[in-house]
Amino acid sequence: MGRHDTATPNQETLDRIREEFRHDPATGELFRRVGTLAVDKYGNARLVVSVKTSRNKLVSHVIWFLEHGSWPTTMLDHRDGDSLNNRPKNLRQSTHSRNLAGARKHRRSLPIGVYAKRDRFQARINGGHGAMRTIGIFDTPEEAEQAFIAEHLRRFGSHSRYFDGKREQRFSS
């Protein structure tokens, strides 16, 4: 099973999920109807739940199905970045690139999206299909970072890791 398997299960499997499972929207926990926790929320099993008639399914997909009545048609993104938080309000459908756009930053000497270019700094963003697109070349890493953040927000909107919930946000300072 791929981690982002979005193939809709057959009707028998969907019926079985509806019969066998329930969820608590307040906590994001998934339970078997007999009352026991379906998965260990703090272990690796949090990702997968076994459905006897089919392959294993992601807990987040099962909760989405129970909450919305339909299987997700794209991958699911956890708004807060916490894959253990399967509360329905924390789940949203997303493309792979938008999901990655919200990923947490990695440690490095220059800010994300900023690269040394001789004595100046270049801002680049992924243009899709592995190609990098240059935003511009700047005198300081801070200027390059601001240009990168503005472009990231323009491209990814509320899925951007820099989005703070403000509708008119331009870039962080």
Whether the model clears a pTM of 0.75, i.e. scores above it, the answer is no
pLDDT tens for each residue of 59-77? 888 899 999 999 998 888 8
| Residue 80 vs residues 31, 89, 139, 163: alpha-carbon distances, Å | 23, 10, 34, 12
Q: Which of 103, 100, 60 is nearest to 80 (CA)?
A: 103
- Give the integer Cα–Cα distance in Å for 162 and 173: 11
pLDDT tens for each residue of 83-94? 778 899 989 888
For 149, left (φ over 0), alpha (ψ -120 to 50), or beta? alpha
pLDDT given at position 44: 38
pLDDT given at position 116: 87
According to the per-residue pLDDT averaged within each range, which of 12-16, 30-34, 146-150, 152-156 is highest?
Answer: 146-150
- Give the integer Cα–Cα distance in Å for 130 and 100: 13
- Give the integer Cα–Cα distance in Å for 122 and 134: 7
- Domains of the chain, each with CATH number or no CATH: 11-94 (3.90.75.20), 105-159 (3.30.730.10)
Output helix, strand, coil percentages for the chain, rounded to the nearest 5.
Answer: 30, 25, 45
